[in-house]
Amino acid sequence: MGYYELFAQKIPVKDFSLRHTVESAQPLAFYSKYDALSNTLTYPTFTQIINVAFKGDEKKGELVGVGRHGGIDSELRRRFRLGDKMSYIYKKINTDRFIGAAIKRFYGMRLTLNDPWEATLCFVVSQNNNVKRIRSIVLKLIDRFGQPIKDDNDKIVAKAFPTSQDIASASIEELKECGAGFRAEYIKEAAEFFASNLGNVNGDYYELKEALMSVKGIGDKVADCIALMGFGKLEAFPIDTWAKRVLEHAYFNGRSKSIEALHDFTLERWGKYAGYAQQYLFWYGRQEKDWYNEKLGK
């Protein structure tokens, strides 16, 4: 039988851009397949391949998700944070012309909420790395360690996203063969952390961040990325070199500030929506290099 049933879900959405969400260096940018022309997306979860299509514009549209198993509706609502009321969040974070320009430029961009372990693997791989190579490494890890996904004829058509157990049972050598380099041992440590009951971390943002940073290979920035995009702690403001530069040039006249001082600043200014402010400022700084260079006076 070549016939098999598909589960489909249609969800009306407001203030939503699939493109900006998927392209903005969040976990989906590291392993999904996105086509800007048709505005369609394909990515593996732990159990199935999800196909997503968006129709409409950034103000109002419809998201269609298709997969072979159920749970599509909750997967999409969680992954793309469809419960977030963007008009309210924009009001909260739009404190100045810098964020204002970023919101205008990337209107509808959402934070994503990914599985905690999945976010951890992606961001541990991301350290000291660029998107292209992060993608190459994560895709190899999926292909090598993800569970096979089969069609009705028992033919393997794809691989699932590897679980923490899948990766914890890999050797450092095998992880290095995927291009992970010196990150291989960090990946292994993180996988063991999540595969054991230690991975059942909870509590508030600060307790969570401390627990994450107890893992060798997870520092301040990666912990904030995981807190934000793996656990939905919206007050987390990951500070990489771009976020640091943008903050210093937009709010401190280009003066160098410590990471700690910048964390204090973002929490004071944007409070529990700091993570959204970060996503817009960070992506604006990276994409709009002309703006950034002008600000630098170069």
Interacting residues with DNA (CB under 7 A): 126-130, 132-133, 136, 179, 181-182, 213, 215-223, 240-242
* Residue 184: CB minimum distance to DNA, A: 8
Give the shortest CB-18-to-DNA separation in angstroms: 24
CB nearer to DNA: pick between 81 and 244 = 244
Kindly tell me which of 92 and 295 has the beta carbon lying closer to DNA: 295
CB 107 within 8 A of CB 280: no
* DSSP run (H or E) holding 226: helix 220-229
Residue 61 or 179: which CB sits closer to DNA?
179
Cβ proximity to DNA, 7 vs 242, nearer residue: 242
CB of 243 to DNA, least distance (A): 8
If one counts every other C-beta atom within 10 angstroms of the C-beta of residue 47, the result is 15
Task: State the nearest-atom distance from the C-beta of 35 to DNA, in Å.
Answer: 20
Beta bridge partners of 281: none
Q: Which is nearer to DNA, 116 or 217 (CB)?
A: 217
- Pairing between β-strand 60-67 and β-strand 49-56 as defined by DSSP bridges: antiparallel
Q: Which is nearer to DNA, 108 or 179 (CB)?
A: 179
Two tokens, residue 195: 């595969």
Burial 89-105 (b: 16+ CB within 10 A, else e): bbeebbeeebbeebbee
In the complex, what is the shortest distance from the CB of residue 275 to DNA, in angstroms, rounded to a whole number?
16
Own/partner contacts of 203-210, CB < 8 Å, gap of 24 or more, are: 205/233, 205/235, 205/236, 208/233, 209/236
DSSP symbol at 211: H
Task: Name the minimum Å distance from CB 104 to DNA.
Answer: 25
